[in-house]
């Protein structure tokens, strides 16, 4: 009777020992797998706009997890670079580029995280002109004044304010309306270093992008 009990006890110990060894092997394998990066972002926005000849960035990514390398597709516009180690976007655009979605990837041995960044490079506006000098009549609708300029512009402002009744479209730059009261025209001349020195209206128009 005593011998039988001793045999059963030895068998139980043997089974426990085998079970413990198997668990250790599985745990070691799981601990060696690297988790993929996640939550890749650039400044909390998806759209960036640059201008030819104007420094762009630097814009640094934020990401959760370990990253061993970055890549971007398609390639960035000429003059801009994407650091493959740190993911920083910087440079000075040399050519205009239409709105483009660039996919940025942060990766490691465990996988990758991607971010779709919308990038546009514009040409700064220049040579902005309006018909001038301008004569208007109180109570008579003004023939719309349409600006001419080179480059890209999607925002316009004016200094000083237009006479009462006239408005400037902040998107197109067109001046229109019906003058509500008379206002004497004051003339200024262009700076001496300007090729044309003809008198122009004192209102200064400004375009931007």
Predicted model pTM = 0.62
Give the pLDDT score at 31. 57
Give the pLDDT score at 192. 38
Residue whose C-alpha is closest to residue 37's, from 103, 116, 105, 102: 105
117: number of Cβ within 10 Å: 24
User: Cα torsion at 150, 153, 156, 160 (round to 10°)?
Assistant: -30
The yes-or-no verdict on residue 149 having pLDDT over 60 is yes
Which residues on adjacent β-strands are paired with residue 50?
Answer: 121
**Tokens standing for 144?**
């719309």
Domain 38-122 - what CATH class? mainly beta
Tell me the helix, strand and coil percentages in the chain, rounded to 5: 15, 40, 45
Q: What is the pLDDT of residues 30-75, one digit of tens each?
A: 456 889 999 999 987 778 999 999 999 999 999 999 999 999 999 9
The beta-strand segments (E) located in the chain are: 38-42, 47-51, 56-59, 61-64, 69-73, 80-82, 89-91, 97-108, 111-122, 126-129, 148-150, 155-159, 166-168, 175-177, 187-188, 200-201, 204-208
Q: What percent of the chain has pLDDT over 90?
A: 44
Cα angle vertex 189, ends 185, 193, to 5°? 160
Give the pLDDT score at 208. 53
Distance CA 17, CA 106 (A): 44
Q: What is the 3-state secondary structure (H, E, C) of 26-40?
A: HHHHHHCCCCCCEEE
Distance CA 118, CA 94 (A): 18
Which residues on adjacent β-strands are paired with residue 207?
Answer: 156
**Tokens standing for 105?**
């990837």
pLDDT band of 90, cuts 50, 70, 90? very high
Least confident of 23-32, 115-124, 161-170: 23-32
Range(s) within the chain of domains with CATH label 2.60.40.10? 38-122
- Compute the average pLDDT of residues 198-208: 43
Give the pLDDT score at 153. 85
- Cβ partners under 8 Å of residue 127, min gap 6: 148, 149, 150
pLDDT band of 152, cuts 50, 70, 90? confident
Give the pLDDT score at 164. 86
Distance CA 26, CA 29 (A): 5
Least confident of 35-44, 110-119, 138-147, 190-199: 190-199
Q: What is the pLDDT of residues 75-89, one digit of tens each?
A: 999 999 999 999 999
The yes-or-no verdict on residue 2 having pLDDT over 70 is no
- Compute the average pLDDT of residues 154-172: 86
């Amino acid at each position: 009777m005593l011998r039988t009990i001793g045999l059963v006890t030895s068998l139980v110990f043997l089974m426990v020992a085998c079970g413990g060894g198997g668990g250790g092997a599985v745990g070691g394998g799981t601990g060696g797998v690297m988790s993929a990066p996640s939550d890749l972002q650039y400044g909390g926005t998806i759209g960036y706009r640059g201008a030819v000849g104007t420094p762009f960035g630097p814009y640094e990514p934020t990401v959760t997890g370990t990253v061993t390398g970055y890549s971007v597709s398609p390639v960035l516009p000429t003059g801009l670079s994407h650091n493959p180690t740190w993911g920083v976007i910087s440079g000075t655009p040399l050519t205009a580029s239409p709105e483009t979605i660039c996919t940025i990837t942060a990766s490691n041995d465990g996988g990758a995280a991607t971010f779709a960044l919308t990038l546009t490079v514009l040409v700064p506006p220049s040579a902005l002109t309006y018909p001038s000098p301008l004569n208007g009549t109180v109570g008579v609708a003004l023939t719309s004044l349409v600006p001419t300029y080179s480059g890209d512009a999607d925002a316009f402002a004016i200094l000083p304010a237009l006479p009462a009744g006239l408005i400037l479209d902040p998107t197109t730059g067109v001046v229109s309306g019906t003058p509500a009261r008379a206002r004497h025209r004051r003339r200024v001349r262009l700076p001496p270093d300007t090729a044309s020195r003809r008198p122009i209206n004192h209102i200064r128009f400004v375009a931007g992008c």
